[in-house]
Structure 1
């Protein structure tokens, strides 16, 4: 299986790439700055230098891939909501149906206020919502795409290795969940490659 990865050089993406390669998958990445590819990955992957906001770069990088994994962040702008339509179009033209992305717990359903998302409710402790709004727009686009998408939604995300022990819940954050490491977020995301669960769903992730 050939996987296209976006966000390879990020905190979750780089850990996810290690799992992918160790299991024998073929990994191709779209990266803006190849010099930021971790040394332990550099000789083990192929990549296209480019920008996820440029249609031609996405089209070039996605050729002959079977599945897309995106660990992109909002990057202080609207990268997610602006790139997802480009990616969806390219996937459909290439005949790729499966995409797994890393989102945020803010776009899960609120327990305290049914009918709204966590970032819109009293559950959210953040005063700034710009990043969550960008994730929300990306979620809406995927929801309407007809693709087999899954959005992994970790809560507070400190660096840390995988333990393999965590809680997951469809569409909601596990009760009283307050943190999950980058390692365990990558660990769970990788598990979705092995077993296609939670199709067309968000998944809350926490200890």
Structure 2
């Protein structure tokens, strides 16, 4: 499979790049600094906080799917995800690529956005501790980050592409296990964390699953 990986030097993106190459996929990486790539692959340099779709088209030409691990590295970068995803979707349409998988976050299902001004108060997969205690605190502290991701999911829904939003819980640096739980359109009850390596493992597999098109997928241990 020919893949374009967005933000391939980030926490999840680096694992995805390495796993994809090890599995024999043909990868093009879209990154700010190709010198930081952990594997020697084709690369397109782009700053997604400012890049337009034309700058991304060379990376998407002839690929089977785009996997975006794009996200703000700090609160000051909030907005990069939905703006970058807008450029990604426009470049995909220009090059005829339809499949897009993007990393979001578990709390986003209950975050208001222009496209979903009245989301549910609690995700159907959240228990009392997560739904009523932990996630409200996280959403208050990381308000701009989650607002960015919620608006990114608006972009996905409005794109007309074959998209999937993957919503992991708290990310860790623990090693790959290949053993985790997933659920469509909901979080996982009791799910507290997931390694970046395992999120990458799932991204590489869900990209070929047609039953995930047009849906969010929660992932946790």
TM-score w.r.t. the length of structure 2 is 0.83
- Closer, same or farther: CA 114–195 of 1 in aligned 2, 3 Å: closer
Aligned with 1:58: secondary structure? helix
Shift of 1:114: 7.4
Preserved contact between residue 185 and residue 216 of structure 2 (Cα < 8 Å): yes
Structure 1 counterpart of 2:68: 70
The runs of 4+ residues in structure 1 deviating greater than 4 Å are: none
Higher helix proportion:
2
Q: How does 1:73-112 map to 2 (within 5 A)?
A: 73-76=71-74, 77=77, 78-108=79-109
Structure 1 residue aligned with 2:120: 115
Which residue pairs with 2:55 in the alignment? 57
**Equivalent-residue separation in structure 2 for 1:46 and 1:200 (angstroms):** 29
How many pairs are equivalent?
A: 199
Please tell me whether the aligned partners of residues 107 and 117 of structure 1 are also in contact (alpha carbons under 8 angstroms): no
- Relative distance call for 1:92 and 1:170 in structure 2 (3 A) is same
Change (3 A) 1:197 1:159: farther
Quote how far apart the aligned CAs of 1:50 are. 2.1
In the alignment, the residues of structure 1 paired with residue 208 and residue 60 of structure 2 have an alpha-carbon distance, to the nearest angstrom, of: 20
RMSD of the alignment, in Å?
Answer: 2.0
Say if 1:141 and 1:116 are closer, same or farther in 2 by CA, change over 3 A.
Answer: farther
Cα shift at 1:169: 1.0
The correspondence for 2:214, drawn from 189, 200, 206, is: 200
> Deviation per CA, 1:145-170, whole angstroms, max 9, x where unpaired?
11111111110101111111111111
Deviations 1:60-97 (A, max 9, x none): 32222221001111233211111111111111111111
Could you state the TM-score of these two structures normalised by the residue count of structure 1? Answer: 0.88
Which deviates more, 26-35 or 47-56?
47-56
Match of 2:194 in 1: 180
Unmatched 5+ stretches in structure 1: none
Q: Is the 8 A contact 1:51 1:57 kept in 2?
A: no
Unaligned 5+ runs, structure 2: 112-117, 124-130
